[in-house]
C-alpha cells in the first residue's frame, strides 16, 4: 500500500474529506462482510492475520497488510483485523418521503437534532431490528458516516435508509395522508395505555433539548414513557436510543 493510499484512508476520519471523496470507512470483520454483501460499492478491503473471514480474503480488491499499516489507516483506538473503504450511495437514491407517507403500512422514526454518533448508530440498529421502514433526520442530526455512528450500527447502516430532511415538511406530508405524527414528551400520554397507529411518523428529540419548539407543533399525538413505579425514579429522562427501543417495541406489540 502506497503512502498516498494510507494518507487518503486516514483522512476519511474527517467529515470534510469523507464528503469530498464520497467515501467512508467500516472496520471489523462483521462490518466488512456486511459491506461486501450489501450491494454498496466497496473500493478497497484491507486485512491482517491468517484467520480472517474467507469472504474478505477472496474479495477482488482485498489486500493483506501488516499490523503497522493497519494501525496507521485505522480510525479506531484498537484496530480490528479488517477495514473497508466504501462508496457513499449517490444522491437521490433514498426513498421519496411523500411516497413513504402515502403508504398506509409505513412506520418511520424521525430524529430531531440527535448529536451523539453512538446514539444515532444505536437507533439505526434498533430501527433495523424492529423493521422500521426508514429513519428521517433533521439536517443538524449528527452525520451518518461518522465512524462512531457506523460502528454503533453493527451493520444496520447497509440495510436501513436514513434520510436527512426538513422534519416539519415531512410531518406535514404524513399528516396530510392520514398518518399520525407521534412525539415523546414528559407531558404526553402514557404509551402503555394507548392504541398506537400503524401508519405513523414517530419523532424522537435530542439528548439535551428533546423535541424542539419549531417541530413540537407538528406532533398530533404526544407520548410519555413512564418510570416504574410512577414518580419513583430520580432519573430525569431516558437516553434517546433507549427511549427509541421502548417506543419501537411498543408499536410492534400492536403490529
Question: What tens digit of pLDDT does each residue of 130-156 get?
Answer: 999 999 999 999 999 999 999 999 999
SS3 state of residue 112: coil
In angstroms, rounded to a whole number, what is the distance separating the alpha carbons of residues 6 and 135? 33
38 pLDDT higher than 90: yes
Q: Which CATH class is domain 3-87?
A: alpha beta
Closest CA to 19 of 83, 76, 88: 88
Tell me what the mean pLDDT of segment 78-105 comes to. 90
Q: How confident is the model at residue 91 (pLDDT cuts 50, 70, 90)?
A: confident
233 DSSP 8-state letter: -
What local confidence, expressed as pLDDT, does residue 233 receive? 61
Tell me what the mean pLDDT of segment 209-235 comes to. 87
Which tens digit of pLDDT belongs to each residue from 196-216? 999 999 999 987 889 999 999
Closest CA to 97 of 170, 160, 199, 200: 170
Report residue 54: phi and psi, to 5°. Answer: -55, -30
229 pLDDT higher than 80: no
237 pLDDT higher than 80: no
182 pLDDT higher than 90: yes
1 pLDDT higher than 90: no
234 pLDDT higher than 70: no
> What residues does each domain of the chain span?
3-87, 97-254
Q: How confident is the model at residue 240 (pLDDT cuts 50, 70, 90)?
A: very high
In angstroms, rounded to a whole number, what is the distance separating the alpha carbons of residues 84 and 110? 29
What local confidence, expressed as pLDDT, does residue 49 receive? 86
Q: Which CATH class is domain 97-254?
A: alpha beta
Topology alike, domains 3-87 and 97-254: no
Give the three cell numbers for residue 59: 474479495
Contacts within 8 Å (CB) and 24+ apart, 64-71: 65/1, 69/1, 69/6, 70/46
Tell me what the mean pLDDT of segment 71-83 comes to. 93
What local confidence, expressed as pLDDT, does residue 92 receive? 67
Which tens digit of pLDDT belongs to each residue from 18-35? 999 999 999 999 999 999
What local confidence, expressed as pLDDT, does residue 219 receive? 97
What local confidence, expressed as pLDDT, does residue 77 receive? 85
232 pLDDT higher than 70: no
165 pLDDT higher than 80: yes
Residue 93 CB neighbour total at 10 angstroms: 8
214 alpha-carbon distance from chain centroid: 23
Q: How does strand 180-190 pair with strand 200-204?
A: parallel
53 pLDDT higher than 80: yes
Work out the mean pLDDT of the chain and round it to a whole number: 93
Give the three cell numbers for residue 99: 411516497
- Give the residues across from 44 on adjacent strands: 85
- Percent of the chain residues topping a pLDDT of 90: 85
Contact assessment for residue 6 and residue 73, using Cβ atoms and an 8 Å cutoff: yes
Give the three cell numbers for residue 121: 448508530
What local confidence, expressed as pLDDT, does residue 175 receive? 97
Contact assessment for residue 37 and residue 81, using Cβ atoms and an 8 Å cutoff: no
Amino acid at each position: 500500500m502506497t503512502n498516498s493510499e494510507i494518507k487518503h484512508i486516514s483522512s476519511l476520519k474527517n467529515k470534510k474529506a469523507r464528503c469530498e471523496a464520497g467515501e467512508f470507512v467500516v472496520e471489523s470483520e462483521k462490518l466488512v462482510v456486511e459491506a461486501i454483501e450489501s450491494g454498496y460499492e466497496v473500493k478497497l478491503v484491507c486485512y491482517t492475520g491468517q484467520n480472517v473471514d474467507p469472504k474478505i480474503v477472496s474479495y477482488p480488491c482485498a489486500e493483506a497488510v501488516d499490523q503497522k499499516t493497519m494501525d496507521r489507516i485505522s480510525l479506531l483506538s484498537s484496530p480490528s483485523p479488517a477495514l473497508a473503504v466504501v462508496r457513499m450511495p449517490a444522491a437521490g437514491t433514498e426513498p421519496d418521503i411523500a411516497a413513504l407517507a402515502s403508504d398506509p403500512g409505513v412506520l418511520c422514526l424521525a430524529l430531531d437534532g440527535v448529536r451523539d454518533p453512538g446514539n444515532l448508530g444505536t437507533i439505526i440498529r434498533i430501527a433495523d431490528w424492529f423493521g422500521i421502514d426508514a429513519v428521517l433526520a433533521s439536517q443538524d442530526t449528527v452525520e451518518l458516516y461518522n465512524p462512531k455512528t457506523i460502528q454503533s450500527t453493527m451493520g444496520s447502516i447497509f440495510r436501513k435508509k436514513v434520510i436527512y430532511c426538513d422534519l416539519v415538511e415531512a410531518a406535514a406530508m404524513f399528516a396530510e395522508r392520514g398518518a399520525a405524527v407521534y412525539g415523546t414528551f414528559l407531558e404526553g400520554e402514557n404509551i402503555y395505555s394507548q392504541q398506537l397507529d400503524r401508519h405513523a411518523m414517530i419523532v424522537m428529540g435530542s439528548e439535551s433539548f428533546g423535541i424542539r419548539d419549531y417541530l413540537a407543533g407538528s406532533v398530533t399525538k404526544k407520548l410519555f414513557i413512564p418510570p416504574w413505579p410512577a414518580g419513583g425514579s430520580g432519573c430525569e429522562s431516558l437516553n434517546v436510543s433507549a427511549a427509541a427501543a421502548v417506543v419501537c417495541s411498543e408499536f410492534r406489540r400492536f403490529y
